[in-house]
Copies of this chain bind each other. A is one copy, B any other.
């Protein structure tokens, strides 16, 4: 990954680091040591892609390029020691946008990888793309015994799945535009996440069990 650092590679590093730092942000009142933070950081960063690669029966991406693990470890350690900084309001906000970039990128990459394997076309690549983006965070939350996004009304996975759907439709009907589509679908995810973050959007009551 480091041999020739392109823009995509820079984004991948940023995204991996953002996912790993989420482990620090996910800790609420629990006592967690730095070793657990590193473990949770690695899981947050590569968990979703790991399940994807298991399902695709292809070599696990971080075994092919171990730098993902190094990035996750370094980011988790930096996150651990800069925890007081991370709770500052503008950094929290900046983090949400870096996270939006990261989920967009990982979803589109995951969708495209699954599509290239012809895995359960046309809908399974969307599932695997979304899982790439959110799977690690869900395992992290299980291990932290906190409610995962499955139990949250925040619009988090839905924008991701929509972006994955746009990209899958391009791959199905206009594969020659897949480069453009990767950018457009990512931008869509980021824009939708921006709307959600800015306006605190949640799933409306009519689409929720026990809305209260």
Contact = CB atoms under 8 A, between A and B. Distances in A.
Interface string A58-94: 0110111010011000000000100100000000000
A143 B157 CA distance: 15
Oligomer: number of copies: 3
A119 interface: yes
A39 to B, nearest CB: 6
**Which of A32, A55, A124 is the most central at the interface, judged by chain B CB atoms within 10 Å of its CB?**
A32
Given A54-B54, A69-B120, 20 more contacts: A31-B153, A31-B208, A31-B209, A31-B212, A32-B209, A33-B153, A33-B209, A34-B203, A35-B161, A55-B60, A57-B59, A60-B120, A62-B124, A63-B120, A66-B121, A66-B122, A142-B142, A143-B148, A143-B150, A144-B151
Interface of A: 24, 27, 29-37, 39-40, 42, 50, 54-55, 57, 59-60, 62-64, 66, 69-70, 80, 83, 119-124, 127, 138, 142-145, 147-148, 150-151, 153, 157-158, 161, 203, 207-212
